Amino acid sequence: MRLEAKQIGFRYGRDRWVLRGVDITIHTGEAVALVGPSGCGKTTLGRILAGYERPHEGSVTLDGEPLPTKGYHPVQLVFQHPEKAVNPRWRMRRTLMEGGEPDEALLAALGIQQEWLSRWPNELSGGELQRFCVARALSPHTRFIIADEMTAMLDAITQAQIWRVVLEHVQRHDMGLLVVSHEASLIKRLCSRVIDLRQISQ
C-alpha cells in the first residue's frame, strides 16, 4: 500500500506559499524521515497527509484512491504536544476509544496504567498523555503513522520506550512510518530513507 502526495501546494494568506510542487510517496513496511529547517512546511505537510488540512494545489491518495473524509482516518498524526491533541472534556478511556477498542497488550507495552484510564487529561503528565496519543494512533485501522517531533519534549527513557513499541507495532502490522524530526541520531536509527523538504518544494 502506498500513501502518495502529488504536486502539493499550500499557502498562508494570498501569496505566502510554504509548500509548492511537493511530491512524496511512502509505502507500508518502510520508515521514512522528513527533514528540513524550522518553518519549511514539514508540519503542514504532515497535517495535509493526515487530512487535517486541505492543500491549495495537488492531491493525496492511498493506493490511488482519495483519502476518506468520514470514519477512522488510515493516516494518523501524532503531534509533539499531546495536550493539544486530546479533548480536555473527555476522560482518557474515551480518548482511547476514538481509535477503537484499546489493545491491552499495547497499553501495557507503552506503560499505560489502568488507573489512568479514568483520569482527565490535566491529571496526567506530558509523557503520560503522549503514551495515550500513540496508543490511539496505533489502531488496527491505521495504515500510516506520521510522528511529528513525537518525543522531542520527553525524557530519554520515555523516548526509548515509546519508539521501541512504535517500531515493533508498525513492523508487525505492516504500517508505514513518516518521522518528522531534527534529531540526526534518531533518524539514523529508525529510518531507511530521508526526504529533505527543501529539495522537493519549489
Q: Report the number of distinct structural domains present in the chain.
A: 1
pLDDT digits (tens, 9 = 90+) for 133-176: 999 999 989 999 999 999 988 999 999 999 999 999 999 999 99
Is 202 a residue whose pLDDT tops 80?
A: no
Does the CA dihedral 85-87-91-93 come out positive or negative? negative
Is 35 a residue whose pLDDT tops 80?
A: yes
Is 188 a residue whose pLDDT tops 90?
A: yes
Cell triple for residue 178?
513518516
| pTM of the predicted structure, to 2 decimals | 0.94
Q: Whole-angstrom Cα distance, residue 182 to residue 154? A: 14
* CATH number of the CATH domain containing 12: 3.40.50.300
3-state secondary structure of 130: helix
- Provide the residue range defining the domain that includes 7: 2-200
How many residues make up the chain in this entry?
202
Give the pLDDT band (50/70/90) at residue 13. Answer: confident
* Average pLDDT of the chain to the nearest whole number: 94
Q: How many CB atoms lie within 10 A of CB 132?
A: 26
Quote the strand ranges of the chain, DSSP E. Answer: 2-12, 16-27, 31-35, 57-62, 65-66, 75-78, 144-148, 176-180, 193-196
